[in-house]
């Protein structure tokens, strides 16, 4: 820390991204990436855009914004495109939260919400999940705070129904409710259909997971045009050219290849259910994940032990030190080959520790 | 504005990027883009990276960071790569400025500094340039505020010497001094050589101008490892994967093709001096710009008139409404053909208004 750091930042604890070790080649099941390459159309369009990099990207991201609006059946003015969905989430904290309008989210959820709150000097409360890791909807009714919920939740993969989300929206008309749908394409129902009815709803999404574009950094928010207008005020005061032109073009290409996306989603869901079944047979208990990962605890071996032994065997999964979930690992669902390796390595570990 | 916007944001006036009209094809000399395509090596590397988009980009941007460090003769720990240089500038406001540690910059400079200050609730002072638009160095000595200076300055193109920058650094040891070198490759001397001597110096740069990569969004900061560490705290609390993998690869490719960059810079400088000479002969007065643009005022026609008439004739230049510079236009230096069109259209306008 330098002597110049603002007093406002002295206690800021940054987010820790999943490890990316370079000592050997791993089966990488730790950051919920897609095992499938991006759509060929996305790659082609990105490569074409690379030839025109001397010109600025479109700050309005017009063509891609229109395509996302079309996909979700909303208007152009309901969509804002960002540099990953982390950016739209941060914009939401910047636009709508402050010392008088605090934030609330589950104690077990995407670890970045609390970092965004700290970064923006926003007071926040973490509401404990139930013992089964589900969200107790009652806890979020009439709460008078800005609510951030990942649906499906991470790292549990559990989902909320639209009925429950509506209850939360309806009972908090003076505050925004952000539904972070990074994983929605693998299960659960999108809340985008509610944006006309609830002016306080912001739905966020990403191209990182189901569309195999984590490396492109492409996220978006969908909401009433009033909320999007506020978020645009933040965007144009932060980084008007926030999304580069290759990523914009890749996003357009990906949306022109929805069959490919659907096929990939189908395979991930099949592999997920296979992994669930296999792990259960090997003595694991799992949440009923609807995402592209499972969340699993063994009945004998500790979460840390499994994480470390898998790592030694060349398989990376995500382990969290937080006590309430330290017996679990979050394991990304890969392709069939990665899935087989995962299961066989876990079998080896269980053999070795008998 | 929605009812949910934070009271902190109600008066926020966003930055206005240069217009990008789509009604016809313009000779676009309004956003200081390069007229030359990006390096073929950059394009090739970006296209290759597009095929691996399913994996996250390297949050440490390790390979590119090393290359930039090598280019400038500094250490890896002295460099931070960002989503355009707007991002590193915003990070500097976030990290080092606050209500107790305000900012200061010239009244005529890059229009985003004041927006960043407002966004981050940082009080700021704008110090008037001298009548010839040069910076009065005395105004910045012992000022006890964080100083932001574009060198060359925009939209004037005027430069400060390293001696003057050192005076400012030396007399403000308790505050940071940001030297924004977006345009340094077209003239002037980089202050990077001073980072070991002055722990309070942050130099920022961009690949948008001399390296023809405006659409890729690639900026960087160079400073003491202590300042870079603080800026990394902000980065990892904002968007750890801030730069996408295609842009990282394109940046590496561009740095492997420095001969191309140097050739392009040479042509821009030649064209700039040609434009200066021609415009002077046509009754313009100009600042002695060292950037990839000129800043020009006609002795009869108003700045607005020239801007509008050029626009009608298919040439876009940048006009600012701010009174002190409203008689001027900032005109990007294009390739030879664009330069000829500019001069011939101005001649037409002068003929028509005789």
Task: Give the DSSP H or E segment for A274.
Answer: helix A258-281
Q: Does B261 contact chain A (CB < 8 Å)?
A: no
10 Å CB burial of residue A120 (0-12, 13-18, 19+) is: buried
| Residue A19 binned pLDDT confidence (cut-offs 50, 70, 90) | confident
| A47-64 pLDDT per residue, tens | 999 999 999 999 999 999
Q: Does A185 contact chain B (CB < 8 Å)?
A: no
Shortest CB distance from B96 goes to which of A5, A87, A250?
A5
- Which pLDDT score, from 0 to 100, does residue A182 have? 98
Shortest CB distance from A239 goes to which of B87, B94, B213?
B87
Beta bridge partners of B204: B180, B221
- Which pLDDT score, from 0 to 100, does residue B23 have? 82
CB contact under 8 A, B242 and A217: yes
Question: What is the side-by-side strand order in the sheet with A219-223?
Answer: A79-82, A219-223, A201-206, A177-180, A146-150, A103-106, A124-127
CB contact under 8 A, A15 and B57: no
With b for 16 or more beta-carbon neighbours within 10 A and e for fewer, the A67-101 pattern comes to bbbeebebbeebbbbbbbbbbbbbbbbbbbbbeeb
Strand B27-29 vs strand A146-150: parallel, antiparallel, or unpaired?
Answer: unpaired
CA angle A7/A11/A15 to nearest 5° reads: 130
B18-36+259-352: which CATH number, 3.40.50.720, 2.30.130.40, 3.40.50.150, 3.90.1150.10? Answer: 3.90.1150.10
- Chain-wide mean pLDDT for chain A? 97
Report CA dihedral (B23, B26, B31, B36) to the nearest 10 degrees: 130
pTM listed for this prediction: 0.97
- Which pLDDT score, from 0 to 100, does residue B20 have? 83
- Which pLDDT score, from 0 to 100, does residue B354 have? 82
* ipTM score above 0.85: yes
d(CA A140, CA A130) in angstroms, rounded, equals: 13
CB contact under 8 A, B83 and A52: no
Chain A positions touching B100 (Cβ under 8 A) are 7
3-state secondary structure of B188: coil
What number is the average pLDDT over the span B71-91? Answer: 98
Q: Quick check: A174 and A199 in contact, CB under 8 A?
A: no
Range name among A49-63, B19-33, B73-87, B203-217 with the lowest pLDDT average: B19-33
Nearest-neighbour CA in chain A from B214: distance (Å): 5
> Who's near A8: CB < 8 A, 6+ residues apart?
A121, B98
In this structure, chain A runs to a length of 354
Q: Does A332 contact chain B (CB < 8 Å)?
A: no
- Chain-wide mean pLDDT for chain B? 97
Most B CBs within 10 Å: which of A20, A53, A221, A267, as the mutation test of the B interface?
A: A53
Residue B303 falls in which region: left (phi positive, over 0), alpha (psi -120 to 50) or beta: alpha
3-state secondary structure of B230: helix
CB interface of B with A, residues 39-98, below 8 Å: 42-43, 46-47, 49-59, 83-84, 86-87, 90, 94-98
- Tokens linked to B211: 């390296």
What number is the average pLDDT over the span B77-89? Answer: 98
B40-256: which CATH number, 3.40.190.10, 3.40.50.10470, 3.40.640.10, 3.40.47.10? Answer: 3.40.640.10
Q: Does A172 contact chain B (CB < 8 Å)?
A: no
Residue A23 has pLDDT above 90, yes or no: no
Shortest CB distance from B33 goes to which of A5, A56, A90?
A56
d(CA A86, CA A217) in angstroms, rounded, equals: 9
What number is the average pLDDT over the span B233-262? Answer: 98
Most A CBs within 10 Å: which of B11, B40, B53, as the mutation test of the A interface?
A: B53
CB contact under 8 A, B226 and A2: yes
Q: At what angle do helices B245-255 and A40-50 cross, to 10 degrees?
A: 40
Chain B positions touching A242 (Cβ under 8 A) are 83, 217
Residue of B nearest to A20 (CA): B58
| Residue A20 binned pLDDT confidence (cut-offs 50, 70, 90) | confident
CB contact under 8 A, B6 and A52: no
How many CB pairs below 8 Å do chains A and B form together?
Answer: 293
- Tokens linked to A197: 């009815």
Give the DSSP letter of residue B318. Answer: B
Residue of B nearest to A56 (CA): B215
Closest residue by Cα to residue B213 from B179, B180, B260: B260
Q: Would you kindly state where each structural domain of chain B is located, as residue ranges? A: 18-36+259-352, 40-256
CA angle B199/B200/B202 to nearest 5° reads: 100
Shortest CB distance from B31 goes to which of A56, A90, A235?
A56
| B123-175 pLDDT per residue, tens | 999 999 999 999 999 999 999 999 999 999 999 999 999 999 999 999 999 99
Shortest CB distance from B236 goes to which of A15, A215, A244?
A15
| Residue A18 binned pLDDT confidence (cut-offs 50, 70, 90) | confident
Beta bridge partners of B101: B98
- Which pLDDT score, from 0 to 100, does residue A22 have? 81
Alpha-carbon distance values, B291 to A217, A324, B52, B217 (Å): 31, 57, 37, 19
| A118-169 pLDDT per residue, tens | 999 999 999 999 999 999 999 999 999 999 999 999 999 999 999 999 999 9
Q: Quick check: B175 and B200 in contact, CB under 8 A?
A: yes
- Tokens linked to B212: 């023809």
10 Å CB burial of residue B199 (0-12, 13-18, 19+) is: middle
Shortest CB distance from B55 goes to which of A95, A98, A215?
A215
Nearest-neighbour CA in chain A from B13: distance (Å): 7
CB contact under 8 A, B5 and A95: yes
Residue B199 has pLDDT above 90, yes or no: yes
Q: Does B251 contact chain A (CB < 8 Å)?
A: no
Nearest-neighbour CA in chain A from B40: distance (Å): 8
- Which pLDDT score, from 0 to 100, does residue A200 have? 98
Q: Quick check: B69 and B286 in contact, CB under 8 A?
A: no
Chain B positions touching A118 (Cβ under 8 A) are 237
| B94-127 pLDDT per residue, tens | 999 999 999 999 999 999 999 999 999 999 999 9
| A277-312 pLDDT per residue, tens | 999 999 999 999 999 999 999 999 999 999 999 999
Alpha-carbon distance values, B214 to A59, B95, B209 (Å): 12, 25, 7
Whether the domain at B18-36+259-352 and the domain at B40-256 fall into the same CATH topology: no
- Which pLDDT score, from 0 to 100, does residue A354 have? 82
Q: Does B292 contact chain A (CB < 8 Å)?
A: no
Closest residue by Cα to residue A166 from A134, A140, A185: A140
| Residue B337 binned pLDDT confidence (cut-offs 50, 70, 90) | very high
- Which pLDDT score, from 0 to 100, does residue A14 have? 96
Q: Does A17 contact chain B (CB < 8 Å)?
A: yes
Nearest-neighbour CA in chain A from B95: distance (Å): 6
| A206-227 pLDDT per residue, tens | 999 999 999 999 999 999 999 9
Q: Does A15 contact chain B (CB < 8 Å)?
A: yes
Residue B22 has pLDDT above 90, yes or no: no
Shortest CB distance from B98 goes to which of A7, A51, A229?
A7
């Amino acid at each position: 820390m330098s002597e110049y750091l603002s007093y406002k930042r002295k206690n800021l604890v940054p987010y820790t991204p999943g490890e990316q070790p370079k000592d050997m080649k791993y089966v990488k099941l730790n950051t919920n990436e897609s095992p499938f390459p991006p759509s060929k159309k996305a790659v082609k369009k990105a490569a074409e855009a690379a030839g025109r990099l001397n010109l600025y990207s479109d700050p309005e991201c017009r063509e891609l914004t229109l395509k996302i609006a079309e996909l979700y059946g909303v208007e152009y003015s309901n969509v804002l495109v960002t540099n990953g969905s982390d950016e739209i989430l941060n914009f939401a904290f910047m636009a709508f939260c402050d010392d008088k309008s605090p934030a609330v989210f589950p104690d077990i959820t995407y670890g970045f919400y609390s970092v965004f709150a700290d970064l923006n000097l926003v007071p926040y409360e973490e509401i404990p999940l139930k013992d089964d890791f589900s969200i107790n909807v009652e806890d979020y009714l009439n709460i008078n705070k800005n609510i951030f919920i990942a649906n499906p939740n991470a790292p549990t993969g559990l989902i909320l129904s639209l009925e429950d989300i509506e209850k939360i929206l309806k009972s908090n008309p003076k505050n925004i409710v952000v539904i972070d749908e990074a994983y929605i394409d693998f299960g659960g129902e999108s809340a985008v259909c509610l944006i006309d009815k609830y002016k306080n709803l912001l739905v966020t999404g990403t191209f990182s997971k189901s569309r195999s574009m984590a490396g492109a950094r492409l996220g978006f928010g969908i909401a009433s045009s009033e909320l999007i207008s506020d978020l645009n005020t933040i965007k144009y005061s932060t980084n008007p050219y926030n999304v580069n032109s290759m990523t914009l073009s890749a996003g357009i290409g990906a949306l022109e290849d929805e069959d490919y996306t659907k096929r990939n989603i189908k395979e991930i869901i099949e592999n997920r259910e296979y992994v669930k079944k296999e792990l259960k047979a090997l003595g694991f208990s799992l949440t009923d994940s609807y995402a592209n990962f499972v969340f699993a605890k063994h009945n004998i071996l500790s979460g840390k032990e499994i994480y470390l032994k898998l790592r030694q065997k060349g398989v990376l999964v995500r382990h969290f030190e937080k006590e309430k979930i330290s017996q679990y690992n979050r394991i990304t669902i890969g392709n069939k080959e990665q899935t087989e390796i995962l299961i066989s390595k876990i079998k080896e570990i269980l053999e070795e520790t008998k």
